Amino acid sequence: GDKVTTGTHEYVNGVKTTETADFRAYGSAEESFADYVRLLKNNSRYQPALQAGTDIKGFARGLQQAGYATDPGYAAKIAAIANGPTIDRAVAAIGNAAADLSNRYASTAEPAGLGTIRR
């Protein structure tokens, strides 16, 4: 598939290094998320992370322990983002957009995937 080559920070034996690596490129955020879900669901090493349920810290720790990221602070960084103000604003914006679309189409069946956003 499509790819992009860019600089990235990786940790090798606990030491931060800069490398050039290939990353998958997608035509949309939806394609990217779908591929991410497939990656996690189809690789047994990520099953412990998926068993964390709604526990974002457990999920992030599971990904880190499975080797998803080389940064030793990966799990803590993901948990901080998930529990921080940026995600609150994003969830609110998505909820507002969904409500707006739902109101526009109130006379027809609700478009798929536009239910209430909860965190």
Catalytic positions are 10, 35
Angle, in degrees to the nearest 10, between helices 85-104 and 74-82: 50
Beta bridge partner(s), residue 15: 12
